Amino acid sequence: MTMIRTRFAPSPTGYLHIGGARTALYSWLHTRRHGGRFVLRIEDTDRERSTPEAVNAILEGMAWLGLDYDEGPFYQTERFERYRTHLQTLLDTGQAYYCYCTRERLERVRNEQLARKEKPRYDGRCRDLDGPPSDEVSSEPVVRFRTPLEGHVVVDDAIRSKVQFLNAELDDLIIARGDGSPTYNFTVVVDDLEMGITDVIRGDDHLNNTPRQIHLYEALGAQPPRFAHVPMILGEDGKRLSKRHGSVSVLQYREEGYLPEALLNYLVRLGWSHGDQEVFDVEELIQLFDINEVNHSASTFNPSKLLWLNQQHIMRSEAPHVARHLAPLLAERDVDPGAGPNLETIVRMQQERAKTLVEMADNSLFFYRRPHAYEEKAARKNFKEGTAEILEHCQHRLSGLPEWSAEAIHGVVTEAAETFEVGMGKVAQPIRVAVSGGAVSPPIDQTLELLGRDETVARVEAAVEWLRSQPTG
RNA sequence: GCUCCCAUCGUCUAGCGGUUAGGACGCCGCCCUCUCAAGGCGGAAACAGGGGUUCAAAUCCCCUUGGGAGCGCCA
């Protein structure tokens, strides 16, 4: 078997969204698993809607996800000469012809067909003409491909197996516009052919285009590649996911504190599975993913499961890795990750208590700066009568501790609870509010150890003062 | 309308002729507990409907219904 070559071919009319990312992922995994080469091609022949910003957004999205490509990016707009050459071949061999029909006539034919409840299609008026017809002639003729009238085509799909189309259902598609520029169905075939693509993996919205493309391959004297049409991802309302439809940019997940491998894991499981396994790392996926095992049916995007998977990946990842992704989020919050307790230690303490890195960042801010105020609810619940005394007691014990360790700190807390004859919660919680400003933090002994003695004592003292300054009653 | 695709808990899925239809997310209890989590235990929750084939059908075939996609001088 020759080396596998696949491609991801987005059109730069918007950012990289969930559906595109999954298609790219499936292609990438398939390629990496078989030691092939992955090509990135930007399909920008629609000059009206393609933008450089979109190109950048797509490249950045791919980079963040770690879907690296071996060749490209290639741009279709730079390949017009290639299309022209093949177009001429088809014209020369009579497999394509000029069509002089005006848009108006086409529109009329179409409406008539629709009115008769027929499938709208070109009626073939110019198919067998030697020159322009006598009336309704367009000054800028298009080029149409001469589709066989009889017989059928079979798409042998890796996911859906054989799908048959009757040629009679197809019509003569336009392969070059009036201005001479090539159209989609033609450019993909030429590019996939010239780039030596062996496996075309794409959304199943393209399945209906495939028989036409197979005809084009054959007309150009080439063997079609293997096809794999992956099912669509639907929004929560069951409609196809699209940009105007709940599908956000993959980069938005970065903003929201998702790990790229969590998103990849979520995406791969949407349409593929390996027994009961839910959590995969990328290396495992490369070993296990098989394009032939992808499901047939469309699936619905489920944000809560993605959230859970993100948490799983945060928990299971190495602390330095999480720290790298967390650091920028801290910076966004005006915190210098280098100017405080060790970031990796913070990560280890927070790993199992954050579903997103955003949450982790927010819940870790107190390590870097003192609380400006106490959260009202937390203060109301934990700062009660007698709390000041408990805190003051702890403050003294903590400052007198011979050794600043979690174990020693824990001893202070239990001792205080015994001394005041209260539960641990009556001691730990007020300290927690004192140092963090809120009611949530990692275990109090570890938290204080990491925060450091001076900072801890200062914050507890501040809380005592604050409590004493409050009007009683 | 025509063509193509699809159909197991709310969602993602396992199942590939014989299972008490399994797992996961979410949800609801209970346990653990200094908070939040994590974790453990338990629970509710599905084969769209109808015909065949077969000793036996969630699994194979057909129809119906439902959903999706395509039918551009968009990609």
Distance CA A25, CA A282 (A): 10
What confidence tens digit (pLDDT) does each residue in A8-44 have? 999 999 899 999 999 999 999 999 999 999 999 999 9
Which pLDDT value is given to residue A1?
62
Torsion sign, CA atoms A428, A363, A351, A269: positive
> Could you give phi then psi for residue A397, rounded to 5 degrees?
-65, -40
**Together in a domain, A393 and A465:** yes
Q: Identify, with chain letter, the residue nearest to nucleotide B12 (CA–C1').
A: A270
For position A212, which CATH number holds?
Answer: 3.40.50.620
Residue A470 vs residue A369, higher pLDDT: A369
Domain-embedded: residue A295: no
Distance CA A446, CA A319 (A): 16
**What's the average model confidence in pLDDT over A171-195?**
96
Domain-embedded: residue A374: yes
Domain-embedded: residue A206: yes
To 5 degrees, how large is the angle CA A279–CA A283–CA A285? 55
**Together in a domain, A328 and A350:** yes
What confidence tens digit (pLDDT) does each residue in A117-130 have? 999 999 999 999 88
How many Cβ atoms from other residues are within 10 Å of residue A8's Cβ? 27
Domain-embedded: residue A6: no
How far, in Å, is the CA of A358 from the C1' of nucleotide B7? 38
Lowest mean pLDDT among A33-37, A163-167, A336-340: A336-340
**What's the average model confidence in pLDDT over A93-121?**
94
Distance CA A464, CA A42 (A): 63
How far, in Å, is the CA of A312 from the C1' of nucleotide B70? 39
**Together in a domain, A208 and A173:** yes
How far, in Å, is the CA of A331 from the C1' of nucleotide B37? 25
**What's the average model confidence in pLDDT over A65-74?**
96
Residue A442 in this model has a pLDDT that exceeds 80: yes
**Together in a domain, A363 and A377:** no
Q: Identify, with chain letter, the residue nearest to nucleotide B38 (CA–C1').
A: A352
Q: Identify, with chain letter, the residue nearest to nucleotide B74 (CA–C1').
A: A46
Contacts of A464 (CB under 8 A, 6+ apart): A388, A391, A392, A395
Which pLDDT value is given to residue A450?
96
Domain boundary among A230, A249, A274: A230
How far, in Å, is the CA of A262 from the C1' of nucleotide B25? 14
Confidence of residue A242 (pLDDT cuts 50, 70, 90): low
Q: Give the residue numbers spanning the domain of A364.
A: 317-369
How far, in Å, is the CA of A194 from the C1' of nucleotide B68? 33
Terminal alpha carbon distance of chain A: 84
Can you tell me whether residue A181 is helix, strand or coil? coil
A445: the nucleotide nearest its CA (via C1') is B34
Full-model pTM: 0.94
**Together in a domain, A213 and A118:** yes
**Together in a domain, A104 and A212:** yes
Distance CA A29, CA A36 (A): 10
A206: the nucleotide nearest its CA (via C1') is B70
Single out the catalytic residue among A119, A239, A243, A381.
Answer: A243
A274: the nucleotide nearest its CA (via C1') is B14
How far, in Å, is the CA of A147 from the C1' of nucleotide B14? 43
Confidence of residue A250 (pLDDT cuts 50, 70, 90): very high
User: What share of chain A in percent tops pLDDT 90?
Assistant: 89
Helix A260-269 and helix A52-65: axis angle, to 10°? Answer: 90
Confidence of residue A473 (pLDDT cuts 50, 70, 90): very low
Confidence of residue A247 (pLDDT cuts 50, 70, 90): low
**What's the average model confidence in pLDDT over A434-449?**
96
A240: the nucleotide nearest its CA (via C1') is B68
Of A200, A238, A235, give the one whose Cα is nearest residue A216. Answer: A200
**Together in a domain, A365 and A375:** no
Q: Is A381 a catalytic residue?
A: no
Instruction: Specify the number of domains making up chain A.
Output: 3
Distance CA A268, CA A308 (A): 15
Which pLDDT value is given to residue A130?
82
Q: If you search the block for the tokens 């307790």, which residue do you land on? A: A341
**What's the average model confidence in pLDDT over A35-62?**
93
**What's the average model confidence in pLDDT over A318-334?**
97
Domain-embedded: residue A259: no
Domain boundary among A369, A384, A404: A369
Let me know: does A313 contact A279? Beta carbons within 8 Å: yes
How far, in Å, is the CA of A205 from the C1' of nucleotide B56? 39
Confidence of residue A132 (pLDDT cuts 50, 70, 90): confident
Distance CA A86, CA A63 (A): 34
Domain-embedded: residue A398: yes
Distance CA A36, CA A382 (A): 60
Cα within 13 Å of Cα(A263), Cβ side: 28
For position A435, which CATH number holds?
Answer: 1.10.10.350
Residue A136 in this model has a pLDDT that exceeds 90: no
Residue A338 vs residue A67, higher pLDDT: A67
**What's the average model confidence in pLDDT over A1-5?**
87
**What's the average model confidence in pLDDT over A332-340?**
92
Can you tell me whether residue A269 is helix, strand or coil? helix
Strand B nucleotides within a 7 Å radius of protein CB atoms: 1-8, 10-14, 22-26, 33-38, 67-75
To 5 degrees, how large is the angle CA A190–CA A194–CA A195? 115
Contacts of A363 (CB under 8 A, 6+ apart): A350, A353, A354, A440, A441
Distance CA A143, CA A161 (A): 32
Instruction: Specify which residues A96 forms β-bridges with.
Output: A145
**Together in a domain, A130 and A226:** yes
* Residue A396 burial by Cβ neighbours in a 10 Å radius (0-12, 13-18, 19+): middle
Q: Identify, with chain letter, the residue nearest to nucleotide B73 (CA–C1').
A: A177
A301: the nucleotide nearest its CA (via C1') is B11
Domain-embedded: residue A5: no
Lowest mean pLDDT among A190-204, A230-244, A317-331, A443-457: A230-244
What confidence tens digit (pLDDT) does each residue in A293-303 have? 999 999 999 99
Q: If you search the block for the tokens 């009579």, which residue do you land on? A: A94
**Together in a domain, A360 and A374:** no
Strand A233-234 vs strand A299-300: parallel, antiparallel, or unpaired?
Answer: parallel
Contacts of A27 (CB under 8 A, 6+ apart): A6, A7, A8, A38, A199, A201
Q: Identify, with chain letter, the residue nearest to nucleotide B13 (CA–C1').
A: A273
Contacts of A270 (CB under 8 A, 6+ apart): A22, A233, A299, A301
**Together in a domain, A365 and A376:** no
Residues across chain A: 473
A208: the nucleotide nearest its CA (via C1') is B70
The first and second tokens of residue A23, run together, are: 């298609």
User: What share of chain A in percent tops pLDDT 70?
Assistant: 97
The first and second tokens of residue A341, run together, are: 């307790």
Domain-embedded: residue A324: yes
Q: If you search the block for the tokens 């959590």, which residue do you land on? A: A279
The first and second tokens of residue A83, run together, are: 């299309």
**Together in a domain, A130 and A145:** yes
**What's the average model confidence in pLDDT over A60-68?**
98
Q: If you search the block for the tokens 């009626």, which residue do you land on? A: A123
Confidence of residue A240 (pLDDT cuts 50, 70, 90): low
Domain boundary among A208, A230, A252: A230
**Together in a domain, A450 and A347:** no
For residue A73, whether the previous peptide bond is cis, meaning omega lies within 30 degrees of 0, is yes
